[in-house]
């Protein structure tokens, strides 16, 4: 069983895979898998994934057969295992627990060759609604405190399969980066009695220089202190802390915003590798006053080197104002 271990100095948890441990010979940078071969996520290969936990099937076809428009399946090589207790324990000064959690793959479309530029707003909506459904269901499991939802597109961004998919990992602890955002927004709220994300939205909308795209309900902007060129954040205009509590009518404008930003990034940067991450509330704490869910998009254009790893400081060669202008002016029609 994998282990969750905590760094004794800064409190960061990591997942140590104990069973499929990699020997040095398995760890080569050129881990590229041969593409163009067999795809376990394609229709017709449903028996090559673990049984689906959710699907969209307009033709009422049976689970784990073809006919689906979207499928969610457990990851065949999960980072965490679903069965078992946490069994929190010490080892001298160190803390650890069993690697219990859920690791699922959201297969976004049956079309192997689709990408953000070929998918429509309805396809994005289907994916967002699937995220919400899985969040609602997994939240019932009282062992879990946080769910990380993310997409890796392109090999440089960590994708090991070409077929359009995103992933979800349910964790028994709130991860460090979420704790930082929660603590920071709570401190701001304690001082101002306002949500820091709402204040950012107000300032960005009245300033305008960092806005990439806007519709009635969502704003996409380049953060003032962007770490990376073309880093983009998408926020609902209304204050909503938990993605799973988002009203259904918001899914269309949310999908329009995400789809538009990704299409602009693809067009202006030539289909770069990217990651996007959905940041929502943890389950074990009421953060509804001060936290505000959002999507963070990071095109992987620059390398992270010793300075960034050592300091947590980033050098961004493209001012967010210029990146935003460029994306605003990129027509995707």
Window 219-238: residues binding a copy of itself (CB under 8 A): 223-227, 229-230
Complex with a copy of itself: residue 122 or 284, whichever CB lies closer? 284
Contact range with a copy of itself by CB under 8 A, out of 8-16, 104-112, 212-220, 249-257: 8-16
What does the DSSP assignment read for 9-58?
TT--EEEE--SSPPPGGG--S--PPPPSS--TTSTT-GGGSPPPSEEE-T
**Site residues for a copy of itself, window 168-207 (CB under 8 A)?**
169, 171, 175-178, 180-181, 184-185, 188, 196-197, 199-200, 203, 207
CA separation for the pair 286, 128 (Å, rounded) = 23
- Which 54-93 residues touch a copy of itself, going by CB under 8 A? 79, 91-93
- Residue of 252, 211, 213, 204 lying closest to 332 (CA atoms): 213
Of positions 53, 114, 129, 301, contacts a copy of itself by CB under 8 A: 301
Positions 105 through 164 that interact with a copy of itself (CB under 8 A): 146, 148, 150-152, 155-159
Q: Is residue 1 within the footprint of a copy of itself (CB under 8 A)?
A: no
State the Cα–Cα distance between residues 319 and 90, nearest whole angstrom. Answer: 46
Answer for which of 164, 236, 272, 282 binds a copy of itself (CB under 8 A) is 272
In the complex with a copy of itself, which residue's Cβ is closer, 131 or 197? 197
314 binds a copy of itself (CB under 8 A): yes
- Which residues contact residue 91 at a Cβ distance below 8 angstroms, ignoring those fewer than 6 apart? none
Cα 208 from Cα 202, distance rounded (Å):
10
**Residue count, binding to a copy of itself (CB under 8 A):** 98
Concatenated DSSP letters of 67-103:
--SEEEEE-SS-SSBSSS----EEETTEEEEE-B-EE
User: Taking CB under 8 A as the rule, does residue 311 contact a copy of itself?
Assistant: yes
Q: Under the criterion CB under 8 A, does residue 5 sit at the interface with a copy of itself?
A: yes
Least CB distance to a copy of itself at residue 57 (A): 27
In whole angstroms, the minimum distance from the beta carbon of 95 to a copy of itself comes to: 9
Exposure string of 23-54, with b = 16+ CB inside 10 Å and e = fewer, is eeeeeeeeeeeeeeeeeebebeebeebeebbb
Active site residues: 165
Instruction: Output the smallest distance, CB 59 to a copy of itself, in A.
Output: 32
d(CA 125, CA 128): 5
Which of 27/62 has CB closer to a copy of itself? 27
């Amino acid at each position: 069983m994998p282990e969750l271990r905590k760094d004794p100095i800064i409190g960061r948890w990591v997942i140590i895979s104990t069973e499929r441990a990699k020997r040095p010979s398995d760890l080569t940078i050129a881990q590229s898998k041969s593409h163009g071969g067999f795809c376990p996520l394609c229709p017709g290969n449903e028996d090559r994934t673990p049984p689906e936990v959710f699907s969209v099937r307009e033709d009422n076809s049976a689970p784990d057969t073809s006919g689906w428009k979207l499928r969610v399946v457990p990851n065949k090589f999960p980072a965490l295992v679903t069965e078992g207790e946490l069994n929190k324990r010490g080892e001298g000064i160190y803390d650890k627990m069993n690697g219990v959690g859920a690791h699922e793959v959201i297969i976004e479309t049956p079309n192997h060759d689709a990408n953000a530029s070929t998918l429509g707003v309805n396809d994005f909506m289907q994916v967002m609604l699937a995220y919400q459904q899985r969040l609602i269901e997994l939240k019932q499991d009282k062992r879990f405190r946080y769910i990380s939802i993310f997409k890796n597109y392109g090999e440089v961004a960590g994708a090991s399969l070409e077929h359009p998919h995103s992933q979800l990992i349910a964790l028994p602890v709130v991860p460090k980066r979420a704790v930082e955002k929660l603590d920071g927004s709570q401190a701001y709220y304690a001082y101002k009695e306002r949500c820091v994300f709402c204040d950012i939205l107000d300032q960005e909308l009245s300033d305008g220089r960092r806005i990439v795209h806007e519709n009635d309900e969502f704003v996409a902007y380049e953060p003032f202190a962007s770490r990376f060129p073309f880093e983009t954040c998408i926020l609902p205009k209304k204050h909503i802390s938990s993605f799973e509590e988002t009203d259904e009518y918001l899914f269309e404008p949310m999908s329009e915003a995400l789809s538009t930003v990704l299409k602009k990034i693809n067009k202006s940067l030539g289909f770069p590798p990217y990651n996007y991450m959905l940041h929502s509330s943890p389950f074990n704490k009421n953060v509804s006053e001060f936290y505000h869910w959002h999507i963070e998009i990071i095109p992987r254009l620059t390398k992270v080197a010793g300075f960034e790893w050592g300091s947590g400081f980033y050098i961004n060669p493209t001012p967010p104002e210029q990146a935003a202008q460029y994306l605003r002016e990129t027509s995707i029609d």
